[in-house]
Amino acid sequence: MTPREMISANAELVVGQLREASGMEDFGYNAESVAWLDGFIERQRVRPEFAGVEAAERMSQTLGSFLGECVVRCYGGVWAELEGTWGVTFGGGNAAFPFNKVRKQFENGAEDSVLSWFETIPVIFARRQAETTPDVTPKKRPWWKLGG
């Protein structure tokens, strides 16, 4: 199985397993499910049996696959390997790294919220796109030069 196929399989596994747990009929690749995932991570990270780094790493891989698929389906982008790490690229050197973000929330809690991260993606990349795109808006001529 290729890494991309593994990411897709992990994302589908998350949807299949967490749909029932979430109580959401439309649990899937959408913002509402990312919000639920954010709370799920918080509930898992405080469980005593979850104290080991190994459990957080395993869950970061599966939940990160799901989070990245949510990014792709909601905001565009494509999965790619960048310097040995998989992430979602948007072109122009812009990328988001969902595995790292899930891992950070497991380590640091709500201050590294996957939901906040997810919600800022279109804002950040829209701003970067605007900064790198030249202004090609035609200049308006003064009224006294119109028609003459």
d(CA 97, CA 95): 7
d(CA 39, CA 105): 10
Confidence of residue 52 (pLDDT cuts 50, 70, 90): low
At residue 78, φ and ψ (nearest 5 deg) are: -140, 150
Q: At what angle do helices 3-22 and 31-45 cross, to 10 degrees?
A: 80
pLDDT recorded at residue 134: 44
Beta-bridge partners for 89: 78, 95
Dihedral over alpha carbons 111, 117, 123, 124 (to 10 degrees): 90
Whole-number Cα distances in Å, 117 to 98, 102, 143: 9, 10, 46
Of the candidates 39, 44, 70, the residue with the CA atom closest to the CA atom of residue 57? 44
Alpha-carbon torsion 17, 106, 60, 95, what sign? positive
pLDDT recorded at residue 56: 79
pLDDT digits (tens, 9 = 90+) for 8-35: 999 999 999 999 999 999 999 999 999 9
Model-wide pTM > 0.75? yes
Q: Where are the domains of the chain?
A: 3-134
Q: Are 47 and 84 in contact (CB under 8 A)?
A: no
Between 68 and 50, residue with greater pLDDT: 68
If you search the block for the tokens 């919220």, which residue do you land on?
A: 113
